[in-house]
Amino acid sequence: MDLARRLAERGRYTVAPNPLVGAVVARDGIVLSEGWHAKAGGAHAEIMALDGVGGTALGATLYVTLEPCNHFGRTPPCVEAILRSGVSRVVVGHLDPNPKMQGRSVEILRDAGVDVEVSGDALFERQNEQYLHHMRTGRPFVHLKLATTLDGRIAAAGGDSRWVTGVDARNQAHELRAEAGAVLVGANTVRTDDPMLTARDLPGPPPAITRVVLDPSLTISPHSKLAKSAGDAPVVVFGSGATLDGRHRELERLGVEVVATPLTEDGLDLSYVLDELGGRGIKGLLVEGGGKTATRFVRGGLAHKLTLFYAPKLLGSEGVPMIGALRATKVAEALQFSVAEVEKVGDDVAVTLYPGGEEERVHRAS
């Protein structure tokens, strides 16, 4: 199962919005074949592994990180191929909460006489955190990423943020975009940086990232890089209903989708935004800021994971803070996070965190 989990990682930056899945066919302790899901619409890991032994695996064991599918999607059901192969035992890392699944594949295999074991190891849950979250809630898994100085500043006083971190950290941010499949920023980031928000410098062809902008007043320019590249990869702009007064038509002619969004006292309704994106099949969302946008996601309890890239620099109190007011007046009221990983990335340090004690609970469960 460890090998199957490592194989699944090969699809980390190409498989969105599908889950990561790895599979191994073995007999008498000898690995016969390996497989992994590389891209939506491509062969599933189980099929790749079974094809590697000529489609017949009589008496062998299939190890697969996620419950095999039992329904037609872009590809035929994997359960049927498993039954045809002659596999006598299947070890599953995690059940699939997809309403079409939820253990049904396990039942089908067992009813056909196949011995099935479900691991339930929390490591498989963590590996597919964005897919599983979407299946359970209908919303994307929100991963907040910020590049900051040691004193928590994401830009200088004048708004200059190029470049807080080094090239290695920026490249890793591109990997996070590809992993999520969608990236979100606020309107001020678009006005200040004019970003493309694509995933570049990755092995293989670049994935098409859905670019999302929170823009209550619809200030995004038709001449921005995002608007001009909307024909290459989706761009979705959430604005208030009052802004749909004709200004949106030029953006829509370029391929930008403008969505009228309810307002709350803090700005655009983020719950509405997440429901809308989840309904479009977006399972992962990388929030890249700026500071006001990051604050709203954190304060609202809507960020499920944080990655902070710390540069060995200081900007002082005049710089722009990475997180604004959280309405905490006592240390006891501070939002708490648990550290999942600390990694040196070039000259910078990446810290990955989860809200509260979630990471500790996962380790205890495993």
Instruction: State how far the Cα of 270 lies from the Cα of 275, in Å rounded to an integer.
Output: 8
Decide which of 213 and 203 is more confident. 213
Please write the tens of the pLDDT for every residue from 46-84. Answer: 999 999 998 678 999 999 999 999 877 677 889 999 999
User: How many domains are there within the chain?
Assistant: 2
Of the residues 127, 162, 180, the one at which a domain ends: 127
Cα-based distances in Å from 238 to 223, 232, 244, 265, 277 = 18, 19, 11, 16, 11
Q: Which of 88-102, 294-308, 326-340 has the lowest mean pLDDT?
A: 326-340
Same domain for 69 and 183, yes or no, is no
Give domain status of residue 351, yes or no: yes
Same domain for 22 and 120, yes or no, is yes
Query: Once rounded to an integer, what is the mean pLDDT over residues 87-103?
Result: 92
Same domain for 52 and 190, yes or no, is no
The CATH number covering residue 53 comes to 3.40.140.10
Decide which of 283 and 357 is more confident. 283
Same domain for 242 and 318, yes or no, is yes
Same domain for 155 and 68, yes or no, is no
Of the residues 97, 127, 157, the one at which a domain ends: 127
Task: Give me the pLDDT at residue 211, please.
Answer: 97
Cα-based distances in Å from 195 to 71, 158, 211, 228, 229 = 40, 18, 10, 11, 11
Same domain for 122 and 145, yes or no, is no
Domain enclosing residue 98, as ranges:
2-127
Task: Give me the pLDDT at residue 357, please.
Answer: 61
Token digits of residue 266:
């803090």
Across the chain, mean pLDDT equals 90
Same domain for 108 and 172, yes or no, is no
Cα-based distances in Å from 22 to 5, 11, 144 = 6, 9, 27
Residue 347 gets which letter from DSSP? T
The CATH number covering residue 323 comes to 3.40.430.10
Token digits of residue 203:
């092995």
Give domain status of residue 133, yes or no: no
Q: Which of 11-20, 60-69, 249-258, 296-305 has the lowest mean pLDDT?
A: 11-20
Same domain for 116 and 184, yes or no, is no
User: Which residues are the active-site residues?
Assistant: 46
Same domain for 346 and 296, yes or no, is yes
Same domain for 228 and 318, yes or no, is yes
Please write the tens of the pLDDT for every residue from 260-298. Answer: 999 999 899 999 999 999 999 999 999 997 889 999 999
Same domain for 65 and 174, yes or no, is no
Token digits of residue 22:
């790895």
Give domain status of residue 326, yes or no: yes
Please write the tens of the pLDDT for every residue from 320-332. Answer: 899 888 888 888 8
With cut-offs at 50, 70 and 90, classify the pLDDT of residue 41: confident
In this structure, is the dihedral angle defined by the CA atoms of residues 243, 249, 254 and 260, taken in order, positive or negative? Answer: positive
Of the residues 127, 150, 168, the one at which a domain ends: 127
Task: Give me the pLDDT at residue 343, please.
Answer: 96
SS3 134: helix
Give domain status of residue 134, yes or no: no
Same domain for 220 and 321, yes or no, is yes
Query: Once rounded to an integer, what is the mean pLDDT over residues 147-159?
Result: 86
Task: Give me the pLDDT at residue 55, please.
Answer: 64
